[in-house]
């Protein structure tokens, strides 16, 4: 399923203590100002370079449609309401499922949705049961940060409380 996905689900797993200013600026550009915030970004070289720059503070991978739908149900409209079918129709989409598919295929990104009044991130809980490995080690070394591909869906489910 990852082959058809043209976006990344990015979750910030570390806070700002001892972080360099340039890393914090990059995280701000990714709309990840705090730990346990998540966003969805399109796959393109400029975003991929940003991800590599702050790799030690985030984890990312290709979300499935179910994760994107869950993400959208947790997105807040600026003014602290949750996104619902009525608002999705108001901004020009048929349903949350339709919007999820457009985000999955990168036809729509959150920069466009931010202009429509949606927050480009969601807040998550720390993972239920804790992180499996250390947040100070790369995924390949048995840790938590870095690129994790399809396994991002498992972590997102743990953190979203679904």
Residue 141 sits in a domain of what CATH number? 3.30.1390.20
pLDDT per residue as tens digits for the range 32-84: 999 999 999 999 999 999 999 999 999 999 999 999 999 999 999 988 788 99
What is the band of 3 on the pLDDT scale with cuts at 50, 70, 90? low
Q: How does residue 1 score in pLDDT terms, banded at 50, 70 and 90?
A: very low
Tokens linked to 63: 């979300």
Residues 118-146 have pLDDT tens digits of 999 999 999 999 999 999 999 999 999 99
Token pair listed for 51: 């991800």
Q: Decide if pLDDT at 160 tops 60.
A: yes
In the chain, where does DSSP find H-type helix?
21-29, 45-53, 65-74, 85-90, 96-104, 110-115, 152-160
Report how far apart, in Å, the C-alpha atoms of 4 and of each of 8, 101, 139 are.
12, 10, 23
Q: Are 60 and 67 in contact (CB under 8 A)?
A: no
Residue 2 is predicted with a pLDDT of 45
Among 67, 65, 54, smallest CA distance to 27 is for 54
Query: What is the number of structural domains in the chain?
Result: 1
The answer to whether 11 and 90 are in contact (CB under 8 A) is no
Closest CA to 63 of 139, 149, 135, 160: 149
pLDDT, tens only, 105-123: 999 988 889 999 999 999 9
Domain span at 136: 1-162
- Tokens 């409209």 sit at which residue? 77
Tell me the CA distances in angstroms from 90 to 11, 100, 102, one per residue in order: 28, 16, 16
Residues above pLDDT 90, as percent of the chain = 87
């Amino acid at each position: 399923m990852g082959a058809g996905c043209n976006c990344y689900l990015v979750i910030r797993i570390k806070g700002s203590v001892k972080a360099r200013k340039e890393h914090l600026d990059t995280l701000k550009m990714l709309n990840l100002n705090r730990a346990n915030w998540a966003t969805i970004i399109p796959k393109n070289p400029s975003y991929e370079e940003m991800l590599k720059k702050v790799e030690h503070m985030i984890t990312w991978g290709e979300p499935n449609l179910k994760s994107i739908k869950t993400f959208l149900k947790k997105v807040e409209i600026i003014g602290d309401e949750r996104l619902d079918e009525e608002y999705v129709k108001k901004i020009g989409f048929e349903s949350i499922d339709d919007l999820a598919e457009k985000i999955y295929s990168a036809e729509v990104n959150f920069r466009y949705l931010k202009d429509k009044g949606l927050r480009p991130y969601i807040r998550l809980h720390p993972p239920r049961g804790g992180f499996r490995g250390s947040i100070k080690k790369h995924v390949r070394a048995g840790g938590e940060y870095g690129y994790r591909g399809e396994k991002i869906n498992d972590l997102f489910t743990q953190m979203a409380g679904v």
